[in-house]
Structure 1
Amino acid sequence: MESSVYIFAPTFSSFARSVMLCCEEKGIHYTCGMAPAGTEIRSKSPEHFAIHPYGKLPALLHDGQILIETSTICRYLDARFDGPALQPADPLERARVDERSAEIALYIDQALLRDIVLEFAFPKGADGQIRLDKVQERLPAARSVLKRVRELLADNPFICGRDYSMADALLTPILDYVARLPLGDELIGSGAVKEYLERMRQRPSGQKVLNMA
């Protein structure tokens, strides 16, 4: 019997949702939470650092092993389990998925999720107020990466072309959170990015993962 996958992270984590989307797409049984042994582990606690040396999330626990870094986790799940491939067989196309995944995890995530979404989710202003001046400062970078996403999509159904890949799993939760912001409609727009997000939301994986509390 295949051992269960445990995703160590809260279910609202965008990167945890990326891993969950990969699991859903491949039909992998998984659990996501902060209590891998039944007792909740506090963020940044010694127990957390014992799982992830930098105190980050998510981490994957499977077969007595721990893996960190979302893209690495997604590649492992794709190679380890049966189900639809999340990476192409062709070397160049596979490298392109890796390239897009890194671009999303490093740059698009920073400009959209870290710099914009988290300011609304966890305001750092006086008395817990959203720092709207900071949001305004960061909007040009957010618009720039969304322009890049539109360019990558072009007329393709997915971010790397004709097939769903782990890069889509990385991108979708970020766009989903942006779209839910008060300024989400303005940022996402009415063209290719909005249409792409709606397609991802309508997939069975998206319907399950993106609607979690």
Structure 2
Amino acid sequence: MDKLHIFGPQFSTFVRTVMLCCEEKGIAYTQGMEESGQEIAFKSEQHFAWHPYGKVPVLLVNGSPLFETGAICRYLDSVYDGLELLPGDAWERALVDQASSEIALYHYDALIRDLVLEFYFPKGENGQVDMTAVDAALPAAKASIARLTTMLGEQSFIAGAHYTLADAMLLPILDYVAALPVADQLLAGADSLNAYLERMRERDSSKRVLSANS
């Protein structure tokens, strides 16, 4: 059996995506900022040896690194049994890839990079949340929520009738957004998206991975 270690901090949405994929497929793994019991500093020489841009997550497969969340999850889905995260049908698989890429490239920036991170790592005076930055980020964040609501439509999952990689990409992001002081402004009227998040939070994988929020 391969030894799988997810290198990266648990609070990272992309680390959580890989963890969700492992949990959904029943794959044994470890996660943390160490390897074989040795702490590896963020952006250290070893980190850059694994990932040329010093990002997370990195999946270590018997010590060999694989980076980029999409590549990691597609590898896991192709090698391991369990829930199919990417459909076998080529068109349906392309739609899941499309949704996953849209979430990672656009919704992550609007919701996490430009908004959530200001609350968790504030850049305002005396370490306070910069509400000017928050106010500036809100229009794009609201547009992101509106687009996600449209993507969901009347489906049970974000990219179709079944849980896929796209859901694992989205859930950690929405989970953080729903905990923000400005969540009411963002999620007002997004009833279907709110209901979707609550349903997804009830999955065993979500309970194990997302419960670390504080």
- TM-score interval, smaller chain: over 0.9
Aligned residue number for residue 161 of structure 1: 160
Q: CA deviation at 1:162?
A: 0.4
Q: CA deviation at 1:46?
A: 1.1
Aligned residue number for residue 172 of structure 2: 173
Per-residue Cα deviation, 1:174-204 (whole angstroms, up to 9, x for no partner): 0000001111133123501100100110001
Aligned residue number for residue 60 of structure 2: 61
1:1-213 → structure 2 map (5 Å cutoff): 2-189=1-188, 190-212=190-212
Distance in 2 of aligned mates of 1:114 and 1:67: 23
Give the alignment's Cα RMSD to 1 decimal: 1.0
More off after superposition, 200-209 vs 35-44: 35-44
TM-score using structure 1 length? 0.97
Distance in 2 of aligned mates of 1:146 and 1:84: 27
Per-residue Cα deviation, 1:139-158 (whole angstroms, up to 9, x for no partner): 01000011010001010010
Per-residue Cα deviation, 1:27-55 (whole angstroms, up to 9, x for no partner): 00011101012111111111211111100
Distance in 1 of aligned mates of 2:16 and 2:99: 18
Long gaps (5+) in structure 1: none
Q: Which runs of 4+ in 1 moved over 3 A?
A: none
**Secondary structure of 1:210's partner?**
helix
Q: CA deviation at 1:6?
A: 0.5
Amino acid at match of 2:137: R
Amino acid at match of 1:46: E
More off after superposition, 121-130 vs 147-156: 121-130
**Secondary structure of 2:30's partner?**
strand
Distance in 2 of aligned mates of 1:66 and 1:39: 16
Distance in 1 of aligned mates of 2:104 and 2:41: 24
